[in-house]
């Protein structure tokens, strides 16, 4: 795992960091005079954990938050938490044949990545795999948008996504890519075993090599597309739909 110092902003992000990864929270800054009960809860939680807390003016919070909406709470954090690609096989093996992976091929918008992580955490994914290049990394905006999910789910940045996909296939993971032109749909595949769901970036979808490496391509049915002219879904929406179809299948006895 690797760490780097950064400021995180927002009540949900700070609270989640204290709850899930307190050892890497270096200090908490709260708005002086703020009466929000959740800010008071954050202060109490941090003090119980012996993490330094300072009450500061709103202007100081504005500066440290770097333009992010902080809601009166920020924290200096020695992370986002990330796993090395060498640890991915261990995560798959520990899932004992029930690994559920999310692979995101070039998501650029930090709000989209944060929303994808939120869905991934709620669905109980084994890991989220993202490329190190041509993709947004886990920054302060991602952490805030994820509402704590960046702390709760393993995030694995990899050097070469196609190579990682082939390694996952050798571990018995079936990889299905989301593509609007695919003949089959997401509701027609079996997602009860080791499965990786591969979604592309906002502009161009799956890159050619990523697409070719998938075991199969599927689409999300959009019966209203012809009438509305809406031809695709936001990547975070598509992620939620696809992941929770896997959750549904795994819950059926």
155 labelled as ligand-binding?
no
Q: Residue 102 and residue 120: Cα distance in Å, rounded?
A: 7
Alpha helices by DSSP H, the chain:
11-20, 37-48, 58-65, 88-94, 110-123, 140-145, 149-152, 161-170, 208-213, 225-228, 235-251
Q: Residue 62 and residue 104: Cα distance in Å, rounded?
A: 32
∠ Cα 9 11 15 (to 5°) = 100
220 labelled as ligand-binding?
yes
91 labelled as ligand-binding?
no
Q: Residue 61 and residue 73: Cα distance in Å, rounded?
A: 8
Binding-site annotation, residues = 200, 220, 233
Binding-site annotation, residues for S-adenosyl-L-methionine = 200, 220, 233
């Amino acid at each position: 795992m690797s760490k780097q110092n950064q400021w995180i902003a927002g009540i949900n992000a700070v609270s989640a960091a204290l709850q899930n990864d307190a050892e890497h929270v270096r200090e908490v800054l709260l708005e002086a005079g703020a009466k929000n009960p959740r800010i008071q809860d954050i202060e109490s939680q941090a003090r119980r954990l012996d993490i330094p807390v300072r009450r500061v003016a709103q202007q100081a919070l504005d500066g440290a938050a770097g333009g992010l909406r902080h809601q009166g709470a920020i924290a200096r954090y020695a992370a986002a938490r990330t796993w090395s690609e060498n640890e991915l096989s261990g995560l798959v093996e520990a899932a004992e044949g029930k690994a559920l992976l999310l692979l995101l091929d070039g998501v650029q918008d930090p709000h989209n990545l944060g929303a994808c992580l939120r869905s991934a955490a709620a669905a109980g994914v084994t890991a989220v795999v993202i490329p190190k290049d041509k993709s947004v990394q886990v920054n302060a905006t991602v952490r805030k948008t994820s509402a704590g999910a960046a702390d709760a789910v393993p995030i694995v940045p990899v050097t070469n996504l196609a190579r990682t996909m082939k390694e996952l296939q050798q571990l018995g993971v079936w990889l299905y890519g989301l593509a609007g032109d695919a003949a089959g749909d997401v509701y027609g595949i079996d997602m009860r075993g080791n499965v990786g769901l591969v979604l592309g970036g906002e502009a161009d979808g799956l890159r050619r090599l990523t697409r070719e490496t998938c075991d199969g391509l599927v689409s999300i049915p959009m019966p209203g597309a012809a009438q509305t002219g809406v031809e695709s879904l936001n990547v975070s929406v598509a992620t939620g739909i696809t992941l929770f179809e896997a959750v549904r299948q795994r819950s059926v006895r």
